[in-house]
Structure 1
Amino acid sequence: MAFGNFDQSKSQHPVSEINMVPLIDVMLVLLIIFMITAPLMTHAVKIDLPQASSEPQATETEHIALSINGEGQLFWDETGVTREQLNERLRQIAQQSPQPELHVRADQAVPYRFVAEALADAAKAGVTRIGFVSEPEQSGAR
């Protein structure tokens, strides 16, 4: 802080330091205002939330592997199928309760068109549980 000198004989120059006392006063006033108003700003909405159990799912649902190789051929659990056979089997699993998961495995070289067609057929048949299966890259295998 800058303190003034009472000796008038020395040369007068402007004080270039910031006076912190008024800033501290303003800060303390704002702090008191926020401390008073903060409890008033809490708006609580009372809702009755459902209770959930955190136990793991005991039943493991079955899954079906739909594989598509690089040439676009379809395989249902390692058995080759045509697109018509695929549509019929997809309709059958859509009717089941609980619905089995459809795990889609596609070769890296397969054109996306074949994957999109298979997914569209599954959605059209009513299959709602679809997942993609991939293999992680090997860190030193390039």
Structure 2
Amino acid sequence: MSVGGGSGVQANINMTPMIDILLVLLIIFMAISPVSPKGLQALAPQPPPPNAPPPPDNDRTVVIVVDKNHNWKINQEDIPEDRIEDRLIDIFKTRAERVVFVRGDPDLEFQWVARAIDHAHGANIDKVGLMTPKVEEGH
């Protein structure tokens, strides 16, 4: 460290302002980064407790089924894919609880299940659940 003298102009970098700038940039990027990733919202139905009686409103459950040949059903009714949203709107006209489940064939690509979820959201369904083989067995 020099105390003075007549050596002239020195070309030393002052690191303190550069570190301050880096800390400010770090805080800015932390503040604007997304906190949680976005994706399809889906619920997994919970299995009933063992030795429990079946629920009385089991007939009110709506299940969209997509089989391995890409045929669509709502419960047991065959429906073409372009009419799914209209049929769901008709079903849920009088219902307060807007919940539907989606069941896809195990060999089906997930894009078909995602399309079923999109159709449900297009019909203003609040909650969409996914049916899996383990849930259907009660595990």
Structure showing greater relative contact order (alpha-carbon pairs closer than 8 Å, 6 or more residues apart): 2
- TM-score, length of structure 1 as denominator length: 0.48
Q: For the pair shown, which has the larger CA radius of gyration, 1 or 2? A: 1
- TM-score, length of structure 2 as denominator length: 0.49
